[in-house]
Structure 1
Amino acid sequence: MSSTFGGVELGKRALQTQQKSMSVAGHNIANAANENYSRQRAIQSTTIPYTSPSLYSSTGAGQVGTGVYVKEISRMRDQFIDNRIWYENQGLGAWNIRKENLQQIEGIYNELDEGSLKSSLDDFFQYFSNLVGADPESSDSTRGAIIQQAVTLTTQMNHINASLMEFREHLGSEIENKISKVNNLTSKIADLNKQIKAIEADTTKAANDLCDERDALIDDLSKMIDIQVTIDSENQAQVSLNGIGIVHGDDSRKIIAEANDVSRTSADGKRTYNDGEFDKYTFTIDGNEAHIDSGEIYGLMTVREEIADQKMNKLDLLAESLIEEVNALHRTGYGKSDLGMTEMVSAEQTNTADPLDGNTSTIQVLVNDGTTTTTTDITINSGDSLADIASNINSVANVTATVNGDRLEIESAAGYTIDIVDRSTDDEVNAIEELGLRGTGAGRDFFSGSDASSITVSDQILDHPENIAASSLAADSDGKKGNDYVGNQSIALKIAQLATETSVSGLGNATFNEFWQTQASQLGVKISGAKAMENNQKVLLGSLEEKKQEVSGVSLDEEFTEMIKFQHGYNAASKVVSIMDEMLDTLINGII
């Protein structure tokens, strides 16, 4: 039979076990508000019973128990749920960063408020429209308003371009900072692996709190890059990035980020961006190329590429098209002080054999030598071909008319200017309109530059509102040193129509208004998509966090219940020790 003193030892073990279990419950309660803490449980087990069955053991009713002990302090954690959370964290990090930074781009464009680029663009074309209806003699204020609005528009484009590129540089710095944080986290995880391994070398000990600390670091790491984590048989966290290990036991490997200059070409192939204007990050681990395909760093990379696209294929395309389209029209026009044309050209004729479709017309050719204007009336007969019309005009001195393909081209001799006006009667047609005959213009550009960073108002226009080429004709038949056709304004009308009526091939056959409205809308759609994906990830992670809390979270009610149980167990064990003490006292002192 067991020793009487064995009962005291049994009671002592019970006291120690209930006390340790009480401490574990107290530790849980103390960390109830610690979001990185995992609930712990003192796993109680029976100690080795008195007498193991053997040939030489004494006979009796059976084995006699020797008490209880805390076999282990277990950490309540579900590795499957952890892995799911770490995986979904990557998506949340990527979409959150993308949403926030796309909103920053939207703020740079400022399209939701007054003074947006679209508003400035609309105002620019509207001022040209205002010039069409302005009094020719008192249009200087309207011309000045056009220049001022053009300065506002080009300055805004310059500023948006600079802001986008500056923001892109900032995102690059953010990538480098986060890579530094990643390397710091992997170093700490490796250090915790080392500590955990040292503690758990004693199989009776579990480094539960250190494991919580390590998992919290992995949580942070999973938000930044797309890691894969396994916990091996020695409770070591092995972390890899798309197949390349970055934490192996107590060893960590650094990720090196490098910004490399790359050449890029716009989607339409018209604009090339050489080394130095854009860069792209690459990542290496011990010299091996690594890919980051999710997480906050990936989100930053996608927004940097979005900015490159915004500049190359949106903002620069808008600026280049604005420069080309406005300048192409402006070159064909004349300002208030332009006194005569030297060249004229017709539109392409679909029927060069009879461009007036059997109609007749009378035109007057005016030739000026700088002092005197001579006039010659020319009749275009029914059925005259384009070559016949050129021949008739060639009869005028100091004027040369030729047929170039499907066009009629007219040029004055050196030192002379020309003009052609309609002199047709009621039963004739206006040959100037029918042929689409126009002056080739003074050849001035309204804008200079080539893209959003360099677009500006031409020096020939900036301080010279009189040089705004609003008219398609120029002559000084009255000798007053001013353009007789200053009120023509047909070029101003064509420029105004670029806003909403004239399709531009470079903009995908959209008007300027349609093109930029579409770009602003597309950016809004991308932001909405990023918000939706972020919300989806939050819902999914919220569900996983609930499951995690069911396993690892501390319930105060449950812990209080456990404490009462341990308290009663402790009191009962104390009673066992007390009774055994009385029995020993009787045995030792009560027997005479």
Structure 2
Amino acid sequence: MANGMGSLYIGASGLQNSQNALNTTANNLANVETTGYVRQQVLFSDRDYNTFDKKSAISMQQAGLGVNIADVVHTRDYFLDKYYRTENGRQAFYDATNEAVQEVITSFQELEGTTFQSGMYDFWTAFQEFAKIPDSSVNQNLIIQKGTLFIERAQGIYDNMKSYQSKINLKVSESIDRINELGHTIQELNLQIQKVEAGKIETAMTLRDERDNALDELSKYAQIDFEETSDGIVKVKLEGVRFVDEVHVFEMGQKVDRMTGFITPTWPHLSDESLGQYTEVFDYSVDISSEMDTDIGILKAQVLARGDHIANYTDVAGLTADQYNDGAGMSVMLSAQAEFDQLVHGVMTAINDVLSPLTTASFTGADGTVYNNVKIWDEEKGCVGNDGQKPGRELFVRRGMERYTAVEGNDGKTYYVYNEEDTTDTSKMYTTYGVSINQDLLEAESNLPYLRQNGEVAQSMAEELAAIWENKGLILNPNDTDPCTFEGYYEKFMNGLATKGNVYESVAQSLSGSVTSIENQRQQVIGVSADEELTNMIKYQNAYNAASRYINVISEMLEHIITQLG
């Protein structure tokens, strides 16, 4: 112990450092409910000692100079932070995907009364009535009315899905903007922290808390890797690409498709826009799985759920399982649009092919053009309406193309050559959004084919129309091998959506529990415990009081020496 007046300095150090510890504890208590606040812990150490050798004393002696605050610890667990941010991003991915599935299910209004399935049933009922009395104008009109409602409901659902794609696209843009904003926030905080801590005296507690909060939020949007350098700079990689370093923020870009307006996230610093070469943020050739950490981030979930185009039946029909799974099958919206449009396409073409049947023929046109194995109207089997016009009219017409082109043969006969669907133009395809009800039938229901060309009522044709609803000719997608009826297809389609929704929801809920558990573990390290801090406050207050009493004792001793012994 120091002698004489030096002892007062020891007491003063106790007062000063106990007061500082009390201030730190009070700051912790004031931030008990502050999100992202990391508790501060005071570590004490001895000040220097004065050592007296034997020349100035009988034996080796040391005199302490009091106590000092060695450090105010800003404690975090790097591994818990990394684990939390990974699971936080994964949970956000499945949450966003589940939201898209639920939106698709809502589009079909199966829980709101006005269901698409009921519209299909009404349409089927109309054909059952038509099969009973084909020449009844009431039954003919019923088919046209229910057909109109069928296609209007189908188009309404398709519109809803397209509209939701646009909403997701807006969210993609907002997510990219927020990611870039967080990148700049982290870089600015890096510079401020470096400035504060450059002297190796002070730790930038509040700034570090803000930076960690920004990293936590960034982890929701995409997969991140981070590391802190010796000078306090945090470097961040986003989806394996440099995003924030000591000097730069490599912003994420937006490539906009001219046809759809859909945004694709890109890396401008790795792209050459002048040559039309873009480096996309996400690599979709890699399977989505937790093992490979490819199921992380809201942004990826949004881009995947939206898809890169507006799908139709060509995105599912005639493809292999691998082609489908690597294409529309990866996207909630694309798979729903493709599979739904396949159903509508199947209904429309099946009905049209009975009302206006096709056969294959070869002939030479009057102009010398050779037609080999082309589809033409089957005049022998085909029926006509009340006006007797050939060829028999179809119920659903393509907006950009007639069903047939009349060709004069060199034999003097007129052939009605079927115009094949043009898969590059939806207005020339039998897709949900590319068709309408035949205007001739809307104007006069009796134009619906129901008569043989000899004037007899085509009872067998009407029965064939009714029977198509029982034919098992549709397969949901290439992963399915069980053909089903139109009604069975729709039920399987809706069940598939519900199953997807349940899976994504259960995974999201499970991950939510994991994220909460990890956050609880983090809080045990960084969180503020009011009880613990109050205990510390009592401890530091007692230490302050003890230092104060110590000074009083030394003061009385010195006074006694000076006044009584001096």
Give the TM-score range, shorter chain.
0.7 to 0.9
Contact 1:323 1:455 in 2 (8 A): no
Q: Residue 517 of structure 1 aligns with which residue? A: 491
The alpha carbon displacement at 1:455 in A equals 2.0
Q: Residue 468 of structure 1 aligns with which residue? A: 448
Contact 1:278 1:308 in 2 (8 A): no
Distance 1:212 1:59 in 2: 54
Q: Residue 176 of structure 1 aligns with which residue? A: 173
Give the partner amino acid of 2:346.
S
The alpha carbon displacement at 1:494 in A equals 2.0
Task: Please tell me whether residue 489 in structure 1 is matched to residue 459 in structure 2.
Answer: yes
- Greater mean alpha carbon deviation, residues 509-518 or residues 549-558: 509-518
Alignment counterpart, residue 158 of structure 1, candidates 148, 155, 158: 155
Contact 2:101 2:332 in 1 (8 A): no
Distance 1:145 1:49 in 2: 104
Distance 1:234 1:162 in 2: 54
Q: Residue 23 of structure 2 aligns with which residue? A: 23
Task: Please tell me whether residue 458 in structure 1 is matched to residue 448 in structure 2.
Answer: no
TM-score, normalising length: structure 2? 0.77
1:397-476 matches, cutoff 5 A: 442-449=391-398, 450-470=430-450, 473-475=452-454
Q: Residue 85 of structure 2 aligns with which residue? A: 86
Q: Residue 548 of structure 1 aligns with which residue? A: 522
Contact 1:161 1:311 in 2 (8 A): no
Q: Residue 200 of structure 2 aligns with which residue? A: 203
Distance 1:447 1:200 in 2: 74
The alpha carbon displacement at 1:470 in A equals 4.0
Q: Residue 302 of structure 2 aligns with which residue? A: 300
The alpha carbon displacement at 1:290 in A equals 4.7
Identical residues among aligned pairs (%)? 24
Alignment counterpart, residue 240 of structure 1, candidates 237, 253, 257: 237
Change (3 A) 1:410 1:10: closer
Change (3 A) 1:109 1:58: farther
The alpha carbon displacement at 1:248 in A equals 1.0
Distance 1:162 1:474 in 2: 40
Change (3 A) 1:102 1:470: same
- What is the CA deviation profile of residues 202-236 of structure 1, one whole-angstrom value per residue up to 9, with x for unaligned ones? 21211112111110111110000111111222222
Q: Residue 224 of structure 2 aligns with which residue? A: 227
1:307-346 matches, cutoff 5 A: 309-310=334-335, 313-332=338-357
Distance 1:73 1:17 in 2: 12
Contact 2:53 2:60 in 1 (8 A): no
Change (3 A) 1:224 1:59: farther
Give the partner amino acid of 1:446.
L
Distance 1:95 1:322 in 2: 34
Instruction: Determine helix, strand or coil for the equivalent of 1:324.
Output: helix
In the alignment of these two chains, the number of paired residues is 469
Distance 1:145 1:54 in 2: 116
Distance 1:170 1:297 in 2: 13
Contact 1:469 1:491 in 2 (8 A): no
Alignment counterpart, residue 145 of structure 1, candidates 142, 146, 154: 142
The alpha carbon displacement at 1:463 in A equals 2.3
Structure 1 segments unaligned to the other structure (5+ residues): 262-275, 334-344, 346-403, 419-438, 476-482
The alpha carbon displacement at 1:165 in A equals 1.8
RMSD (Å), alpha carbons: 2.9
The alpha carbon displacement at 1:528 in A equals 1.1
Distance 1:506 1:440 in 2: 37
Q: Residue 127 of structure 2 aligns with which residue? A: 128
Q: Residue 428 of structure 1 aligns with which residue? A: none
The alpha carbon displacement at 1:95 in A equals 0.7
Contact 1:125 1:499 in 2 (8 A): yes
Give the partner amino acid of 2:395.
F
Change (3 A) 1:250 1:10: farther
Q: Residue 435 of structure 1 aligns with which residue? A: none
TM-score, normalising length: structure 1? 0.74
Q: Residue 498 of structure 1 aligns with which residue? A: 468
The alpha carbon displacement at 1:104 in A equals 1.1
Distance 1:31 1:506 in 2: 56
- What is the CA deviation profile of residues 356-396 of structure 1, one whole-angstrom value per residue up to 9, with x for unaligned ones? xxxxxxxxxxxxxxxxxxxxxxxxxxxxxxxxxxxxxxxxx
Alignment counterpart, residue 281 of structure 1, candidates 234, 258, 264: 264
Contact 2:351 2:395 in 1 (8 A): yes
Q: Residue 11 of structure 2 aligns with which residue? A: 11
Structure possessing the higher radius of gyration over alpha carbons: 1
Distance 1:491 1:332 in 2: 10
Contact 1:330 1:445 in 2 (8 A): yes
- Greater mean alpha carbon deviation, residues 114-123 or residues 202-211: 114-123
- What is the CA deviation profile of residues 476-531 of structure 1, one whole-angstrom value per residue up to 9, with x for unaligned ones? xxxxxxx442xx53323222222234535898743211222222111111111111
Task: Please tell me whether residue 538 in structure 1 is matched to residue 512 in structure 2.
Answer: yes
Contact 1:168 1:307 in 2 (8 A): no
- What is the CA deviation profile of residues 158-199 of structure 1, one whole-angstrom value per residue up to 9, with x for unaligned ones? 222222222212211211111001111110111111111111
Instruction: Determine helix, strand or coil for the equivalent of 1:42.
Output: strand
Distance 1:22 1:257 in 2: 51
Alignment counterpart, residue 167 of structure 1, candidates 161, 164, 167: 164
Instruction: Determine helix, strand or coil for the equivalent of 1:155.
Output: helix
Distance 1:500 1:62 in 2: 105
Task: Please tell me whether residue 215 in structure 1 is matched to residue 212 in structure 2.
Answer: yes
Instruction: Determine helix, strand or coil for the equivalent of 1:571.
Output: helix
The alpha carbon displacement at 1:328 in A equals 0.5
Give the partner amino acid of 1:317.
Q
Distance 1:27 1:78 in 2: 21
Change (3 A) 1:474 1:21: same
